[in-house]
Chains A and B, each alone.
Chain A
Amino acid sequence: MGLTAGLTEAQWSQINQATSALNAQQLTWLSGYLAGLAQTGQPAVAMPQATATPSQSLTILYGSQTGNAKAVAEEYKAKLDEAGLPAKLYNMADYKAKQLKSESHVVMVVSTHGEGDAPDDAVEFHSFVGGKKAPKLPDLQYSVIGLGDSSYEFFCQTAKDFDEGLAKLGASRMLDRVDCDVDYDADVQAWAEKLTAKLKDSLSTGTQTSVATAVSAAVSGGTKYTKKAPFTATLLESQKITGRDSVKDIRHIEISLEDSGIQYRPGDALGVWFTNDTQLVDELLGLLSIAGDSQVKWSGDDYEIKTLLTDKLELTQSYPTFAKAYAEFANNADLNALLEDKAALREFLSVRQIVDIVRQYPAKVTAQQFVDSLRSITPRLYSIASSQDEVEDEVHLTVALVEFEAHGEQHQGGASSFLSTRLNEGGEVKVFVEHNDNFRLPEDGNTPVIMIGPGTGIAPFRAFMQQREADESEGKNWLFFGNPNYTQDFLYQTEWQRFVKEGVVDKVTLAFSRDQEQKIYVQHRMLEQGAELYQWLEDGAHLYVCGDATRMAKDVQDALVQIVVQHGGKTEEQAEQYINDLRRAKRYQKDVY
């Protein structure tokens, strides 16, 4: 080692002798003293190796549900490395909460889901920071960046909680918290630059943090294709897999990844870039009386507005930033009033696309002004429904066509309608893989698996079972599935029949909500089968939930607590602990959206 080369054996021996009797605090003080000596140019012995000190540590903690926050954290760590500021990187689930009081600099990247919920891997740490056991942190400097979706009421709530929680404990902000919306790239970049500069000031480069191995150093996928540089894939098949009388239009999508070298694992998601429906764009431009060939500037380039709206800008979801910018042109009292009431605005936006707002509140706006009020399209993530051991260079998705009538008009979701109706077989689609280590089959093939996946939540479980079949795993598998009608909506019915026949799947429990007067959902079936389900958990089963986050995942969680109370003879508190333990042991994983 370069740093130790300057020391003779005798010097080493002396140092060891001198320090052997010192306690940790004395050692810490001494390290600072020695560093000071070094900086003032006084002759002194150099440190053999920089060690972590409370006053000089840098740790990045992330809590991520879909992988976005994790990716931001990893990218930031790489940037810090480049800047000569090596940091430790931890998933919040793997971080020892008590360690926090020994830290000097902490960066948190955390997303928020559903009704202000923390991602699964952040749940425990989140409650620790906000709870009674949290220590005072007068010496801690921190920065929090949140990822979220501003169309939700509790936008970036988890980030806010951490930010405020740490402040209450006496820690000090290096930067104001940044709450990122769905298109977060620019915000993240700006935050990263500012924070790096601050850290450079605050952390002396001479006292590097210890080179502790980052826990989550897995290289993501070994592919060069990313969100920003996606692979142009080919649509092989788009097949409706709900019956002709179904109330839902759900598609099985097969995409070729041929020659991309892309590798994914069951549990991963596929990011899909899409373009908007040109009819929708025409309608919008018509309403605004803007010519389709109007020239606009966007992100430094020149575009015809029609092309820009079709290819680059978000039209099928609406968001507060648009409402705010557009309101200035609309000059409508109702719309202005909405901006003042966050809950009402969210309600308003949730049932409208951009075109609905424009139709409802006509405005005189130039092509450039309109474009500037919109944000860029963000790719949609779909849980992958296949295993490469089964489908090789294909990737399969299960996509529900979002389709609804509102305000007297027919509406469709952007990506789902692109995949289901606008993209022809053989057509091109830009994709990338989002790895999700928070949704993985147990490493041991003998471990039993319980899968709860109503609706399109069934997708990753099709991948799981393809994998387990390919691996010839011996572990038992139990699927809970639900949808409106048995005859119309039993997704992949013939495949599940085969899985059962071949002995891959041991049990399939079904809940079809509309086949009887009383609505029956998966959580009701779980409760009915509670004794057996609890036994599976006791036998070490891993439990997975995929699908709707707002209601299903909560109902399933409540059902789990009830089951553990009833069949495990526990109090509600103990049951919650039991489930938390499952989560911590990565035996309870969620992929909800």
Chain B
Amino acid sequence: MTTDNKNFVVEGKLADNERLKTESNFLRGTIAENLTDDLTGAFVGDNFQLIRFHGMYQQDDRDIRAERAKQKLEPLQNVMLRARLPGGIISTDQWLAIDKFAEEKSIYGSIRLTTRQTFQFHGVLKPNVKPMHQMLNSIGMDSIATAGDVNRNVLCTSNPVESELHQEAYEWAKKISEHLLPKTRAYAEVWLDEEKAESTEEPILGPTYLPRKFKTTVTIPPQNDVDVHANDLNFVAIAENGKLIGFNVLVGGGLAMTHGDTSTYPRKADDFGFIGLEHTLAVAEAVITTQRDWGNRVNRKNAKTKYTLERVGTDNFKAEVEKRSGAKFAPSKPYEFTSRGDRIGWVEGIDGKHHLTLFIENGRILDYPGKTLKTGCAEIAKIHPGDMRMTANQNLIIAGVPAELKGKIEAIAREHGLISDDVSPQRKDSMACVSLPTCPLAMAEAERYLPDAVTQIEGFLAKHGLPEESIIYRVTGCPNGCGRAMLAEVGLVGKGPGKYNFHLGGNREGTRIPRMYKENIGEQEIMAELDSLIGRWAKERNESEAFGDFLIRAEVIKPVVNSAKDFHDDSFVPA
């Protein structure tokens, strides 16, 4: 079999985003000019897309779009910023700075923890955008490449217990992030007023960057909090005697799809094999450049790495990576994923430090009436000598608390509603993306719907005698899948206002994709189905059998085995 690059390049008229990247002068576009145009609060034309490469999305308050049109006002244009924070670790000083900015300069006043293990500011008006980047820069942060056709924020399993292993893994996450970052000076020029570079080279990403977004993780089994199968490239940490020796490399996961387009589907990552630590950056670079060269630049819907693997064959892709990196994949080392959730509450690390994981519903850190989460986090940050860590489950870890401060920090957390003893297992295992009103892609509610939906499911569990059980339940507002519903036991994918595609049959470990059970149905119908299915589960389940596994065994739904072939196969869905 040949690995001649040319055979694997999709011919045809390039997607418009390719033109846009080509003409952008390495992501500069006319963003700087657009910044001074105060006739609109929006970034317009190509800049609408280009600012994504700088970590921002153009959004507006969709709840009041029609109202403002009548008022002869443009939509309430603002940007969402997603910070680059490999592994989710942030210092307390940085925390206090972002807390202040969110409070004073964003419409929603919140810090939103996200499934990309970082935070987002929502509702930043154009005049505040440049000051925002300068603020981030002043605290040693940026938002380069957290969106757009690039390698985005690199995740790293939050494992404060095995502190040394985590430290090593985290260092790799940072190194990979830096290595794969765009080299263009556009960000520094536009936002930080740095001198214009005379020339730009992008040796890894190339002048037109990647065909599509690209997501990378460093994962420490047995935790799969980062959801490897939602990512293009995963370095699964293999340790011996608590020491990191190398990675199993998993390539080609991804959950995004397009409603009504059966050429799109969620797909699990393939295991390429094991590499030693010395090859880590070379392999990362080789996977990226292979996808850069072979990825589909004609049809963006089929541009992600998962489709490239399906099209060129996993073996060919892997061989090319070996050729480009000079590394050989050894057989994978054994590892096991046992859970994805965070261990809420206190744990003690092997270094003797204490770590407090706070459950943050929806990841939204904001002062609610009687639940001043944001103030609480800031109060903790003021006295906490360690760091803070965002998890891929949208929770927050107060990491490295000395024993003598445990009581004080817990007291603050309780005072502000950050610790609440009555949070059910079900609530902890539920997740939603941001969706309405800010996300322009959202088709249905997610974050705002989740709390009530969870309360209903809690009711069903209690009613059927399973109050301590939980179901991995995820809601995502559109099929792009930020809420990772395609790796849930029960996954809802927004289809229209109040309507979702209802998926069942994923597993707790996040290694099985749930299949669509019913298409485009309302919330009430979904809840009625869940009530009845939970009732059956309670009666018919085997010892400790999880909900998703039960549904497969009971043949309520057939498992997705090879999503490229069977995800859209209607014959798998019972009539």
Contacts and interface: CB of A to CB of B under 8 A. Distances in A.
Contacts of A515: 127
B125 A494 contact: no
B125 A493 contact: no
B41 A486 contact: yes
Interface stretch (A31-39, A164-172, A234-242): A234-242
B72 A495 contact: yes
A243 B38 contact: no
B64 A244 contact: yes
A239 B71 contact: yes
B40 A497 contact: yes
Contacts of B575: none
Contacts of B64: 243-244
B73 interface: yes
A250 to B, nearest CB: 10
Contacts of A510: 38-39
Interface in A230-272: 239-244, 252
Interface residues of A, number: 23
A348 interface: no
B38 A493 contact: no
A10 to B, nearest CB: 77
Nearest to A511: B38
B41 A508 contact: no
Contact of A494 (B41, B67, B72, B127): B72
B127 A493 contact: no
A493 B73 contact: yes
Given A497-B39, A510-B38, A486 B125 contact: yes
Interface string B59-78: 00000100111111110100
A241 B125 contact: no
A490 interface: yes
A492 B69 CA distance: 10
Contacts of A492: 72
Interface in A443-487: 486-487
A241 B72 contact: yes
B71 A508 contact: no
Nearest to A487: B76
Nearest to B70: A239
Contact of B71 (A241, A486, A496, A497): A241
Nearest to A508: B39
A491 interface: yes
Interface in B48-96: 64, 67-74, 76
A366 B74 CA distance: 54
A226 to B, nearest CB: 32
A500 interface: yes
A74 to B, nearest CB: 37
Interface of chain B: mostly helix, strand, loop or mixed: loop
A490 to B, nearest CB: 6
B394 to A, nearest CB: 28
A494 B70 CA distance: 10
Nearest to A497: B39
A525 to B, nearest CB: 10
Nearest to A505: B39
A252 B72 CA distance: 9
Contacts of B39: 493, 496-497, 500, 508, 510
Contacts of B71: 239-243
Interface string B523-566: 00000000000000000000000000000000000000000000
Contacts of A516: 127
Contacts of B125: 486-487
Nearest to A507: B39
A277 B409 CA distance: 59
Contacts of B127: 486, 515-516
Contacts of A497: 39-40, 74
Contacts of B70: 239
A546 B73 CA distance: 21
B124 to A, nearest CB: 12
A424 to B, nearest CB: 17
A163 B370 CA distance: 70
Contacts of B68: 243
A116 B168 CA distance: 79
A497 B74 CA distance: 9
Nearest to A512: B38
Interface in B7-55: 38-41
A529 to B, nearest CB: 13
A486 B68 CA distance: 13
A510 B126 CA distance: 14
7 closest A-B pairs by beta carbon, nearest first, are: A241-B71, A493-B73, A494-B72, A492-B72, A241-B72, A510-B38, A508-B39
Given A243-B76, A252-B72, A492-B72, 8 more contacts: A243-B71, A486-B38, A486-B127, A487-B73, A487-B76, A491-B72, A497-B40, A515-B127
Interface of B: 38-41, 64, 67-74, 76, 125, 127
11 contacts: A239-B70, A241-B72, A241-B73, A243-B71, A486-B41, A487-B41, A487-B73, A487-B76, A493-B39, A497-B40, A500-B39
Interface of A: 239-244, 252, 486-488, 490-497, 500, 508, 510, 515-516
